Structure 1
């Protein structure tokens, strides 16, 4: 495997007004994203409100997205949790559906030591043939998977990538330095996509690509073509939008933006709530300035 793709969009989960999952809208959104800059999709990740989805809902989402775009794009199942045995069972069930890989978030709340991280991910990897992406997001998990631990995990055959959302560019560079050449390092922060490419990353697992996926592809293509001036210009163009997507808790801004551009994303499950009127005005203003609505 060379890559899952340059841009994997961490897809929002559409809901009906009664808070049930809108599977038809999920299929349509998946098709829209693949037609507009995404090489693949991460389904039921944190942007997909995974914390409030049941395993049954997740599995049906995986199957729905696979049916919609699985022959055209990479479909990655969000199967990680802070319960190793539960993660094993969900990963195995997702594998049976035919997903192309699974993403495993660092265990939250437990705050394991580094050896605990290693044993957690190794235990899951030992029970599946799926290629696995480790997801390091200290801002949500309250613990950081250190480069040395990622380097050890990269020696396991089917642990093939990391989504790095620590915000620490030196840490990302150290992971690139200490892992095999074919180990994939993805940015977990839209605004750091270009810097992470510069230190050896392969792409982005993105929130913003719901809205600006084509432009992000332009930026990555310019970088790969050694047109750094163009890549930097697009980064500067998109930076205000990247910031706007995090004016409040993700996925509140992006799900709102998806609705505003005419795609059906629906409402939020508690404890997430709609944006405030001020936040909504800011999101609308940003989309208007970029000629997106």
Structure 2
């Protein structure tokens, strides 16, 4: 259903912190034109933790409307309370989304059985395809391969975004799930290696600003042309890494504003603008990259 370069879309805001729908339209069109394979709307990169549920749902629905069927929309529906994740998912019934991305319940530090029961109950509450999301550095819990394998047997759990950075998990999962179960990298810096080991693509932060190049890398990798993919990826390695010097999505929003993809780099507290030193580092990296990759300022 989904393969290749999937962008974890930032949420553009105006100077007062309200959703900027003009910038959202520009971003969506940018990804449609650049060959991005799908959009994750209001995932953790989209600042889901600082949006209330009505804003969260309104933003997803507006993204679906603006995409107009030209690109699949995957909704971020994870929460640290199982009931809240189910509520978000149920409210998106018949919304036009193509799937849900559900992050592990942060802060609670559930056991593996607790994680299994959490995702099982969500799965049983909907017919919408579900993609698991494991990012232990942000959530404080780790969805282990044995639990992923168990969850993969549930009919509408179709894949996982694996952002632990542990590349051994590709084989540890892939060897024990059906061939249709999808594995996505959640780490841009190692995404190409992840795909070379058998992954199906990346749910990418970097793609917010170099969508065409991330799409090319993924297409080449899926075609098993890893040498050509690596040549392109070499140009982006410093960018992949520098975008995570400070907590995501602070650096990527600044970079998107610098490239005129959004009007402001406004974030909601407790997220703040990046430091001047990080701005300098990012600006230098952007200058080193072939500017045909990027959205130039008017």
Matching residue of 2:271? 272
1:231 partnered with 2:236: no
Q: Distance in 2 between matches of 1:5 and 1:170?
A: 20
1:64 partnered with 2:65: no
1:98 Cα deviation from its structure 2 partner:
2.0
Alignment of 1:134-283 (within 5 A): 134-264=132-262, 266=264, 267-283=266-282
- Residue 97 of structure 1 aligns to a residue whose secondary structure is coil
Q: Which moved more, 1:49-58 or 1:24-33?
A: 24-33
User: Residues 89 and 144 of structure 1: is their aligned pair in 2 closer, same or farther, counting only changes over 3 Å?
Assistant: same
Q: Which moved more, 1:249-258 or 1:191-200?
A: 191-200
Q: Which runs of 4+ in 1 moved over 3 A?
A: none
C-alpha distance after superposition, 1:201-244 (max 9, x if no partner): 10000000011121122222222333332122222221111111
Contact 2:200 2:222 in 1 (8 A): no
Q: Distance in 2 between matches of 1:158 and 1:225?
A: 27
User: Residues 46 and 152 of structure 1: is their aligned pair in 2 closer, same or farther, counting only changes over 3 Å?
Assistant: same
1:265 Cα deviation from its structure 2 partner:
5.3
Contact 1:255 1:265 in 2 (8 A): no
Contact 1:37 1:216 in 2 (8 A): no
Q: How high is the TM-score relative to the length of structure 1? A: 0.96
1:95 partnered with 2:93: yes
- Residue 272 of structure 2 aligns to a residue whose secondary structure is coil
1:49 to 34, 47, 50: 47
User: Residues 159 and 106 of structure 1: is their aligned pair in 2 closer, same or farther, counting only changes over 3 Å?
Assistant: same
User: Residues 273 and 146 of structure 1: is their aligned pair in 2 closer, same or farther, counting only changes over 3 Å?
Assistant: same
Q: Distance in 2 between matches of 1:70 and 1:85?
A: 30
Contact 1:220 1:231 in 2 (8 A): yes
Q: Distance in 2 between matches of 1:118 and 1:224?
A: 30
1:96 Cα deviation from its structure 2 partner:
3.3
Q: Distance in 1 between matches of 2:77 and 2:224?
A: 36
Matching residue of 1:122? 120
Q: How high is the TM-score relative to the length of structure 2? A: 0.94
Q: Distance in 2 between matches of 1:161 and 1:58?
A: 23
Contact 1:12 1:265 in 2 (8 A): no
List alignment gaps of at least 5 residues for structure 2. Answer: none
Contact 2:5 2:218 in 1 (8 A): no
List alignment gaps of at least 5 residues for structure 1. Answer: none
Q: How many residues get paired?
A: 291
C-alpha distance after superposition, 1:43-66 (max 9, x if no partner): 111111110001111111111110
Contact 2:196 2:226 in 1 (8 A): no
Matching residue of 1:113? 111
Matching residue of 1:288? 287
Q: Distance in 2 between matches of 1:58 and 1:20?
A: 12
Contact 1:38 1:213 in 2 (8 A): yes
